[in-house]
Structure 1
Amino acid sequence: MAASDVDTVQDAESGRKATESDNSADHHVVDWDGNDDPSNPKNWPSWKRWLNVGIVSVLTLITSLGSVVFAPGVPQLMAEFQSDSSLLAGFVVSIYVLGFAFGPLFLAPLSELYGRVWVYQVCNIGFVVFTVACAVSTNLGMLIAFRLLQGICGASPIANGGGTISDIIPPASRGTALSIYSVAPLLGPTIGPVIGGFLAEAKGWRWTFWVLAILAGFITIASFVGLRETYPGVVLERKAARLRKETGNLELRSKLARPRGTTEFQHFSRSIVRPIKMLGKSPIVLFLAIYAGIAYGYQYLMLSTFTFVFEERYGFGVGVSGLSFLGLAFGSLSGLAIGPLSDRFLKSKSPSEGAERMPEVRLLPLAYTTLFIPVGLFLYGWTVEYHIHWIVPIIGTALVGFGILSVFFCITIYSVDAFSLYAASALAANALARSIVGALLPLAGQSLYNALGYGWGNSLLGFLALGLLPITFVLFKYGERLRLKFDVSKL
């Protein structure tokens, strides 16, 4: 969900109260014309709402593909640019994820000021342009710079996709829509190398970018045709502007307008700093960000090293090495079941436990599913070390994939339940931390394996994952107390 999407509700309420106080009359406040107002995006025809969900989901899939689609071709580009630096080999892949970290911090507030569609369209065009620029790069420095810009533009559906779904899908159907949307960022990093492996082998690494640019260009055209503005604040403001023009009543204001006296820059600045303040002042947000950051870093560390591992240890070709990513993809897809299971688990608890304890109950499955990460790492590392048949380490990566996805699901569901109006900022803080770790941790991948070998190198990562388990139990037991003591509504 976009940073500050939910938080803006509080600002909107303040704006509404200020407006009513200033004007002393409800008729100056422009709101929806009842629950069935057709201008409310939630009341659009089903086909129109689901068309927007579909386009945003495909956008997310394509930008997620961009993170690692050319990873199998990294050895080719390193040879072409005459570099043998393992650090640069990892960085040219992970720099894209830094764009995912910092892009949402300003893309989400911009969507609240000017609308989601405007942000989508500008970023879509930028993504196509910078993808082409990557394809024609003539040195590593140029490629790394364009990869960062490509990632920033690609962060648009990551930043605003959840918000778009919240805008147009009623709560009763939102779980299904979010599940469809969640498949996109899940599949992209795992099937991207499969596609990229065969492309790089057949046409060279540059063609991974050319094909990505073609796909992005197609969906960009589709978004111009099918996407419509969904952000309620912008939709109501347009309605208020139209009514001011028609009636001549300049006192009319949108119910969701920002408080009077607050400039666009102040609103924008507040939206940017809120997630960072939550990281610094809420132990729960910080602990969960560390948890998700390590899991995300493991995913990208594996994605950035699979090609080297299976080419060097098992003699896979460039194209076939891409198939090694399918184990992680299968495990990740299996992790999607954690969401519905979490709902069932919550409903099975007796009502006597109270609604206030509900958010912490969401974290309890982590005590079991997180174990898949270290078990998978141990299996993957030691079977590669001793040249056990390639299917066994791939099974190990499937276990890791399942564990990683379970971490993301449980943390996301918990954050939404626990922080209510501030859930979007909590998720934005989480995304910032995990994307930075996801970009930087893979840089140590090859050096780690060179120093410790695949067995002990992955075992070290596995032991670190085991060390995270106490966080789950601490938050389950003391989470309510920490939430009340460090109230994020006061930030």
Structure 2
Amino acid sequence: MAAAEENEERDRPSTSTGATSPDDYELRPMATGVREGATDIPSIDPLVKADSIVVDLESQPSTPPPYSTFSKRKVNFIIFMAALAGLFSPLSANIYFPAISQLATHFHTTPTRINLSITTYMLSQAISPTLYGSLTDTLGRRPIYVLTFLVYIPANIALAVQNSYAALLILRALQAAGAASVIAVGAGMVGDVVPRGRRGGAMGWFNVGPMLGPCIGPVIGGALADKYGWRAIFWFLAISGGVFLGFLVGCLPETLRAIVGDGSVEARGVNVSLWELARRRRRRRKSGLERVHSRRAERPKFRFPNPIAPLAILKEKDVACALLFSGVFYGVWYMVTASTSVIFEDKYGLNETEVGLTFLANGTGCLVGSILQGRILDWDYRITKARWEREGHHENEADGDDSFPIERARLRSLWWLCLCFGGGCIAYGWTIEKRVHISAPLIFQFIIGYSATSIFNTFGTLVVDLFPGRGSSATAANNFVRCALGAVGTAVVDEMLGSRLGAGWGFVVLIGVCACCSPLVWVVLRFGPGWRGERMRREREKANAKAAAGGK
């Protein structure tokens, strides 16, 4: 009997109050709002120590569920694959630049007319993601990746064997239609698996891929064109795309939260990688069951692509202001990039290989900016969040909290980036105009690449934050504005350089246009939070109405 009492005393749970016997505790009725006399048994609060602070355990804040159940290693792998896929679009655009003069000679035309193939590429790059953006936010990330590469690879093969200027224009547009959407899909994947408190750094690493294109593309293109001719460029792209498609089909998991949730729901059909299928078979063999029971995603319903859906995002006032500002800077940056080969051939007498090497300055700046700005965005987010919480607020990221000033957090470091970009462009223009030693314009190209990429990453991360769960559609809208303005810039840059303005005053005028757009940033900071709150309330009301109607 004594042993039983001793075991009972040992097994009795202890509490954080430091009590040692039942006499130290008392039972207290809990205020539940039940009418007096409605029951003879009062509700009892958890045991609390007598004559001490009453602890209401139910009022303690619960730990929010993790944003994603994917392991850190798998998240890093997803970001790596998304970055690698994102490399193909800018690689296909920039690998082409050193061969412009060679193509002009082959097709018996001028470099200005060959530049029209860059314009058609940019226009297709602007439009095609709007077709895929709504699809990838419903059907999943993997199917759209596969579809885009099945368009991209044949387009490169056709470009390698064609002999017509008209075919060059058409096939370049088709090539862009296959390559352009990978950036929007990749940005959506990052938003699927990384919470916004760490999303800036993740987007920075993701953008290493797209920013690596301007760095290595012209080097590869110049070397291939110089040694094997311009056709080798497209054979290289076709083979590279085929190799990556094999890795994509075999290894990349589905991440769309509408299909796999936080990653704990099993995907089905084309949304499952070959590696995942093999893993499931091994698990079934070990368990001895024909099927291992687990949560499985519903098969996504096909909806005919609506190209207007991503563009409808532009109706939102805060998004329109942000993307217009970013797009103008992108247009100026692309004018610098597209004119590099012609400028350095004419001003400094370089050949294709040497011209390709000059792109390393801009590309390296883009690469450094992508990595550093991601860290700066996370740093700015933490600083803004700490100040906001000191004011008595609390962020609930898992529920898509619309009260946190995400605009202030993301745009905190924008001002000095704009100053670097403007100063770099003006100095670059005048060093070209005066034919200063080649090292000077290359240094300013590095500054331009660094600041431009940092600005693009800032607004790219912001638009993903503004539309949780619709990151690909938001990025498609961003891509549409940027590429449309980039196409305009490419079409007029040769005329600007050949006009009375020249490179010096020409870039001064362009930076003046950028400066005129600066009030748009103030509008986003001042009115953006209110517009965003109204939008999220409308979306919640729409979702509640849909749920009340049975999800129809």
Q: Which residue of 1 aligns with 2:246?
A: 221
Decide which of 126, 149, 155 is 1:130's aligned counterpart. Answer: 155
CA shift at 1:207, angstroms? 1.2
Decide which of 133, 136, 146 is 1:121's aligned counterpart. Answer: 146
Decide which of 350, 363, 373 is 1:316's aligned counterpart. Answer: 350
Q: Which residue of 1 aligns with 2:507?
A: 458
- State the TM-score, normalized to the length of structure 1: 0.79
Decide which of 224, 237, 246 is 1:212's aligned counterpart. Answer: 237
Instruction: Find the aligned partners of 1:78 and 1:239 in 2 and give their Cα distance.
Output: 49
Q: How does 1:147-166 map to 2 (within 5 A)?
A: 147-166=172-191
Q: How does 1:363-402 map to 2 (within 5 A)?
A: 363-402=411-450
Q: How does 1:265-414 map to 2 (within 5 A)?
A: 265=303, 268-269=305-306, 272-279=307-314, 281-336=315-370, 337-349=372-384, 350-351=387-388, 352=390, 356-414=404-462
Q: SS of 1:179's equivalent?
A: helix
Q: Which residue of 2 aligns with 1:77?
A: 103
Per-residue deviation, residues 285-336 of structure 1 (Å, max 9, x unmatched):
1111111211222222222110110010011111101121122122222323
Distance 1:433 1:177, change over 3 A: same
Q: Which residue of 1 aligns with 2:93?
A: 67
Q: SS of 1:388's equivalent?
A: coil
Contact 1:51 1:226 in 2 (8 A): no
Instruction: Find the aligned partners of 1:302 and 1:345 in 2 and give their Cα distance.
Output: 29
Distance 1:418 1:51, change over 3 A: closer
Q: Which residue of 2 aligns with 1:443?
A: 491
Per-residue deviation, residues 140-180 of structure 1 (Å, max 9, x unmatched):
11011111111111124212112334445577875554333
Distance 1:347 1:265, change over 3 A: closer
Q: What 5-or-longer segments of structure 2 have no aligned partner?
A: 1-62, 270-288, 290-294, 394-402, 543-552
| Identity score, percent | 28
**Equivalent position amino acid for 2:216 in 1:** I
Distance 1:463 1:159, change over 3 A: same
Instruction: Find the aligned partners of 2:494 and 2:167 in 1 and give their Cα distance.
Output: 23
Q: Which residue of 2 aligns with 1:431?
A: 479
Q: How does 1:38-117 map to 2 (within 5 A)?
A: 42-43=68-69, 50-84=76-110, 86=112, 88-117=113-142
Instruction: Find the aligned partners of 1:409 and 1:225 in 2 and give their Cα distance.
Output: 29
- State the TM-score, normalized to the length of structure 2: 0.71
Contact 1:275 1:425 in 2 (8 A): yes
Instruction: Find the aligned partners of 1:56 and 1:426 in 2 and give their Cα distance.
Output: 17
CA shift at 1:454, angstroms? 1.1
Distance 1:324 1:489, change over 3 A: farther
Instruction: Find the aligned partners of 2:124 and 2:141 in 1 and give their Cα distance.
Output: 19
**Equivalent position amino acid for 1:55 in 2:** M
Instruction: Find the aligned partners of 1:125 and 1:118 in 2 and give their Cα distance.
Output: 11
Instruction: Find the aligned partners of 1:482 and 1:170 in 2 and give their Cα distance.
Output: 22
Paired residue total: 434
**Equivalent position amino acid for 1:338 in 2:** Q
Q: SS of 1:370's equivalent?
A: helix
Instruction: Find the aligned partners of 1:224 and 1:201 in 2 and give their Cα distance.
Output: 34
CA shift at 1:434, angstroms? 0.9
**Equivalent position amino acid for 1:71 in 2:** F
Contact 2:339 2:493 in 1 (8 A): yes
Q: What 5-or-longer segments of structure 1 have no aligned partner?
A: 1-34, 241-245, 247-252
Per-residue deviation, residues 451-491 of structure 1 (Å, max 9, x unmatched):
12111111111221222223223322333344456778469
1:189 aligns with 2:214: yes
Q: Which residue of 2 aligns with 1:23?
A: none
Q: SS of 1:230's equivalent?
A: coil
Q: Which segment is superposed worse, 334-343 or 451-460?
A: 334-343
CA shift at 1:45, angstroms? 5.9
Structure with greater Cα Rg = 2
Instruction: Find the aligned partners of 1:309 and 1:339 in 2 and give their Cα distance.
Output: 32
Instruction: Find the aligned partners of 1:379 and 1:488 in 2 and give their Cα distance.
Output: 47
Distance 1:157 1:50, change over 3 A: same
Per-residue deviation, residues 83-115 of structure 1 (Å, max 9, x unmatched):
1261x2222123223232222222233334544
Contact 1:197 1:318 in 2 (8 A): yes
Instruction: Find the aligned partners of 2:259 and 2:516 in 1 and give their Cα distance.
Output: 45
Instruction: Find the aligned partners of 2:472 and 2:77 in 1 and give their Cα distance.
Output: 24
Q: Which residue of 2 aligns with 1:473?
A: 522
